[in-house]
Structure 1
Amino acid sequence: MKVGLIGFGKTGRAVATVLLESKSTNLQWVVRQSTTLEHRSVPEFLGIQSDEPGLIYSKDEFTADQLLDHMPVDVIIDFSHETGIDYYAQAAAKRGITIVSAVSQYEPAALAKLKDLSDKTIVMHSPNITLGINFLMIAAKILKNIAPYTDIEIIEEHFKNKSEVSGTAKVIARELGLAEDAIKTVRAGGIIGTHEILFGFPYQTVRLKHEAISREAFGNGILFAVEQLNGKSKGFYSMEDLLLPYFKLQENEEQNILENRRPWWKFWIENEQRSK
């Protein structure tokens, strides 16, 4: 699958590494704001043996139409900024190119513009596209549904110089129906990113925690998303849409569980009887 990458900062470079190492993707080009590294080869710059072109262009060198006519791709992956869609979105949509945006925050108008593109092509947006974070958010929502009156706290940890509250933590708070002041922040050293959701029950606590060890984790999420979106109908998708089917047990597994599992109240009665 031929892919193009928008954005080549620290995360973009880590994602490019994963794309180059994957056998399922072929990195055709990278577009960035700066003219620095223009016309360099991504494999050569990153020190990765690859036959993939992966040439770096600045967005002022070509229009998106010119670029996509010259070097067509199946998927565009965006790790740039909310204004990035102004460069490529319309050109990609009219060609039916899948758009995967991992931009952390969009203003409402920009997000609406992204969603409008889904009338023409497949569009997916995830503020944090790592598999672990998205699993954590789904698991947290399930637990909140089970115990809606539990005390919930969100703790996020990042590198010392990160001043703003984590965008991912804000998304977690919003998804759980919590105010942003429920977020506790820690700034220390070179922590890439740690997010923890603490559920406080009267007699127990549950902690759901995700820690990013390296930025390549975003690349793993991209590979999963690209694979899952392949063959889907045009429309707007989230990582939750792609992950939720995996939360359903297979029918034979469900049947085995139902046949072998005793109701919880029988187990409780037997325990009580044994203790007397």
Structure 2
Amino acid sequence: MSVSVAVTGATGRMGRAVIDAASARADVEVAAAVNRDPEGGDDAVAGVPVAPTQEFDALLRERDPDALVDFTGPESSQNYVAVAAEAGVASVVGTTGFDDRGEAALRELAEYAPVLKASNFARGVQALLGAVESAVADLPGYDVEVTETHHNGKRDAPSGTANTILDEIESAREETTERVHGREGDQPREPGEIGVHARRAGNVTGEHEVLLAGKHEEVRLTHRAENRGVFAEGALDAAVWLAGRQPGWYDFADVLGGEQ
């Protein structure tokens, strides 16, 4: 039995990738696809009709999908998840850039329907997080710098994945003091700080590097995504796993960990 999904932002970079990935899988079908402004753009992606956002509520009632897959923007994502939660539809959220209030709003909606939010759906990134935690714990006192690179249209900086990596570092090393974003002028490194650098260029899908440097050695941990399909596949894996679960807040690590 396949899991049916509704895809928002269907004509965007990630929306297209999700629909393309779903079309190649036997365990997933796209029940509905919407986009904020389909006028003047494509009215179908990979043979899937794309409706305007205004029809999202009606489509959920009509098609009754098992899960929503959302890679849009913080405000629109919150609205989509609210509609899905009211309809009892699970939500997989890959949108980043939420502020604390937006994140709290999503967590409230998880009381009514299952919500799985992740800053990155690449399995390799989950492995990277584990490696970063171990390396930071094993190398106390080493300077830490985090650099991320994305395409020139990405809005939030640092990326959601970079912020997740930074959270992991701070959790593993209590003596961290602050995140320093870029450097200019007279700025020698202070003890405990973490350097953070965001680069936007071309059509880079996504690259994250953690540098740990001591006096006579350095360790570099890097993840590079070659294609958005890796994020789409992970999001669909999450949708299959999440469908039919009880309301609550879930993470991609739950999917990979095989939590029942």
Q: TM-score, normalised by structure 2?
A: 0.79
Q: Which residue pairs with 2:15 in the alignment? A: 12
1:27 aligned to 2:30? yes
Q: Equivalent residue for 2:46?
A: 43
Contact 1:156–1:186 (CA under 8 A) maintained in structure 2:
yes
**Structure 1 residue aligned with 2:185:** none
State how 1:203-214 maps to structure 2 within 5 Å. 203-214=216-227
**Aligned equivalents of 1:12 and 1:18: distance in 2?**
10
1:169 equivalent in structure 2: 162
Paired-residue identity, %: 26
How well do the aligned residues superpose, as a CA RMSD in angstroms?
Answer: 2.6
Residues of 2 paired with 1:222 and 1:171: CA distance? 17
Residue 227 of structure 1 aligns with an amino acid whose one-letter code is: V
Shift of 1:201: 3.9
Equivalent residue for 1:179?
179
Query: Deviation string for 1:214-266 (max 9, x for gaps)?
Result: 111211211232233345432101223334569xxxxxxxxxxxxxxxxxxxx
| Structure richer in helix, relative to its length | 1
- Higher mean alpha-carbon deviation, 191-200 vs 130-139, is at 130-139
CA contact (8 A) 1:131 1:220 kept: no
Report the CA distance shift for 1:55/1:170 in structure 2 as closer, same or farther (over 3 A): same
Are 1:242 and 2:259 matched, yes or no? no
Is residue 58 of structure 1 aligned with residue 71 of structure 2?
no
Aligned counterpart for 2:5 among listed residues 3, 6, 23: 3
Distance in 1 between the 2:92 and 2:238 partners? 8
Q: Residue 262 of structure 1 aligns with which residue?
A: none
Could you tell me how far apart the structure 1 residues matched to 2:77 and 2:204 are? 30
1:57 maps to a residue whose letter is A
Residues 83/38 of structure 1: CA separation in 2 closer, same or farther (3 Å cut): same
Q: Report 1:1-276 matches (<5 A).
A: 1-8=3-10, 9-36=12-39, 40-44=43-47, 54-60=48-54, 62=55, 64=57, 66-159=58-151, 165-167=157-159, 168-177=161-170, 179-181=179-181, 182-230=195-243, 232-244=245-257
Q: Using CA pairs below 8 Å that are at least 6 residues apart, which structure has the higher relative contact order?
A: 2
Cα distance in 2 for partners of 1:202, 1:231 equals 52
Contact 1:105 1:127 in 2 (8 A): no
Shift of 1:29: 1.4
Tell me the CA shift for residue 120 of structure 1.
1.7
Unpaired stretches in structure 1, ≥5 consecutive residues: 45-53, 247-276
Cα distance, 1:219–1:37 mapped onto 2, change above 3 Å: farther
The unaligned stretches of length 5 or more in structure 2 are 171-177, 182-194
Secondary structure in structure 2 of the residue aligned to 1:165: coil
